[in-house]
């Protein structure tokens, strides 16, 4: 029997295909549902495809996907729990007024909404993400933040905020859908789906997208980019702040101001985050023990590593490894 929380999650989806949508993201949302039905040996999930005209829609790779319904067909929304907007390239150009009107009209039924890749832009444009938190592909985070001040944009790989289900692009929708599968069908089914897809680690909503620094600061600070690249290249044997400043041709004070201006933290804090992120990858993706992980990430002792890890992530490295094991089985 589903829990009360699980029963509020959608099982009948309408995937709205926006021209130039990203096929890998759309497939990453649909395929976990198909596989969950197969493993559960019953039809828990149903889905249909919807387009503006009812005709096939070309993805950004040139392949076309047939649509079951057009938005003018009253059957398009019949018996759906949620509409998931599948976005992709040039989403601003591809977001049409008929699509926006249709989404607004559909929202009056109390239906849930979701988005994958750049689809959150479409929902935000329709006013359906006001006062909600959402995820979107990292390339669009800055634009959506600027254009829609009433929307809280997260860097998480996916975000579930009440009746809004949004994820970044690529394979991120797999993680979001597996969250739903785990809640609705149990850990055995979600683990079976992950196993069938050779999916080693299911990410959680707390996992953040890795946004390239060049995208964050643009061409405004080449020296900052060089400094961060030096940090990333020297994880096992961290270099001192003085050495770092010398390498990039700045004083320590200038280096500190640079980090504070663009990253809102000190160089040492950012370096620590980089090392702890690498440590988390080791814990989740390898069988290294804590001593080996602490050594590989430049900590003088496993106790210092454990303390730093817990202060940053709010749980210990041992708990992280346990979470990773449960995640793989969930």
Q: How many other CB atoms are found less than 10 A from the CB of residue 216?
A: 17
Pairing of strands 164-167, 158-161: antiparallel
Tokens standing for residue 35 = 């596989």
Q: What pTM does this model have?
A: 0.72
The residue whose two tokens read 């809640």 is 183
DSSP string of 205-270, one letter each residue = TTPBP---HHHHHTTS-HHHHHHHHHHHH-SSSPPPHHHHHHHHT--HHHHHHHHHHHHSS-HHHH
What stretches of the chain show up as alpha helix (H) in DSSP?
4-7, 23-40, 91-94, 97-107, 119-125, 141-147, 172-185, 187-196, 213-217, 222-233, 241-248, 252-263, 267-285, 290-296, 302-313, 317-328
Q: What CA–CA distance (Å, rounded) separates 282 from 111?
A: 41
> What radius of gyration do the chain's Cα atoms show?
22
Locate the domains of the chain by residue range: 4-196, 213-328
Q: pLDDT tens digits for the chain (330 residues)? A: 344 445 578 999 999 999 999 999 999 999 999 999 999 999 999 999 999 999 999 999 999 999 999 999 999 999 999 999 999 988 999 999 999 999 999 999 989 999 999 999 999 999 999 999 999 998 888 789 889 999 999 889 999 999 999 999 999 999 999 999 999 999 999 999 999 998 877 888 878 777 666 666 655 678 888 898 899 899 999 999 999 999 999 999 999 998 988 888 899 999 999 999 889 888 876 788 999 999 999 998 999 999 999 999 888 998 887 765 444 333
The CATH number of the structural domain formed by 213-328 is 1.10.10.60
Report the candidate in 173, 88, 107 with the shortest Cα–Cα distance to residue 135: 173
pLDDT score of 315: 86
pLDDT score of 220: 60
Report the candidate in 60, 114, 66 with the shortest Cα–Cα distance to residue 88: 60
Whole-number Cα distances in Å, 5 to 1, 29, 319? 11, 21, 25
The set of residues, in sequence order, having a beta carbon less than 8 Å from that of 29 and lying 6+ positions away, is: 15, 84, 86, 116, 167, 173, 174, 176, 177
pLDDT score of 280: 86
Q: Specify the DSSP class assigned to residue 295.
A: H
The CATH number of the structural domain formed by 4-196 is 3.40.50.880
Report the candidate in 159, 99, 148, 102 with the shortest Cα–Cα distance to residue 121: 148
Q: How far apart are the first and last CA of the chain?
A: 17
pLDDT score of 145: 87
Q: Which helix (H) or strand (E) holds 12?
A: strand 12-17
The set of residues, in sequence order, having a beta carbon less than 8 Å from that of 109 and lying 6+ positions away, is: 77
329 burial type by CB count under 10 A (0-12 exposed, 13-18 middle, 19+ buried): middle
Q: What angle do CA 218, 220, 225 make, to 5 degrees?
A: 70
Backbone angles phi, psi at 218, to 5 degrees: 60, -140
Three-state DSSP class for 287?
Answer: coil
pLDDT score of 288: 87
Report the candidate in 180, 159, 40 with the shortest Cα–Cα distance to residue 151: 159
pLDDT score of 4: 42
């Amino acid at each position: 029997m589903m829990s009360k929380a699980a029963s509020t999650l959608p099982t009948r989806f309408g995937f709205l295909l926006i021209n130039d949508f990203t096929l890998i993201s759309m497939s990453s949302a649909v395929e976990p549902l198909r596989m969950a039905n197969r493993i559960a040996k019953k039809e828990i999930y149903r889905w249909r495809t919807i387009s503006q005209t009812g005709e096939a829609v070309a993805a950004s790779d040139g392949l076309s996907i047939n649509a079951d319904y057009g938005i003018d067909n009253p059957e398009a929304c019949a018996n759906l729990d949620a509409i998931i907007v599948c976005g992709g390239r040039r989403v601003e150009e591809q977001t049409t007024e008929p699509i926006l009107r249709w989404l607004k009209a559909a929202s009056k039924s109390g239906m849930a909404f979701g988005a994958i890749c750049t689809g959150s832009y479409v929902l935000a444009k329709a006013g359906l993400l006001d006062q909600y938190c959402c995820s979107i592909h990292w390339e669009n985070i800055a634009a959506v933040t600027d254009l829609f001040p009433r929307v809280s944009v997260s860097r998480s790989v996916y975000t579930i905020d009440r009746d809004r289900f949004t994820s970044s692009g690529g394979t991120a929708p797999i993680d979001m859908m597996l969250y739903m599968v785990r809640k609705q069908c149990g850990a055995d089914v979600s683990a079976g789906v992950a196993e069938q897809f050779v999916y080693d680690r299911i990410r959680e909503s707390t996992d953040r997208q890795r946004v390239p620094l060049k995208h964050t600061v643009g061409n405004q600070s080449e020296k900052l980019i060089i400094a961060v690249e030096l940090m990333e290249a020297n994880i096992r044997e961290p270099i001192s702040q003085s050495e770092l400043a010398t390498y990039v041709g700045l004083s320590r004070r200038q280096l500190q101001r640079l980090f504070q201006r663009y990253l809102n933290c000190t160089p040492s804090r950012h370096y620590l985050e980089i090392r702890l992120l690498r440590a988390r990858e080791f814990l989740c993706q390898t069988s290294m023990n804590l001593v080996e992980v602490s050594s590989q990430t430049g900590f003088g002792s496993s106790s210092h590593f454990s303390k730093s890890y817990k202060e940053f992530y709010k749980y210990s490295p041992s708990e992280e490894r346990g979470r990773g094991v449960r995640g793989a089985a969930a």
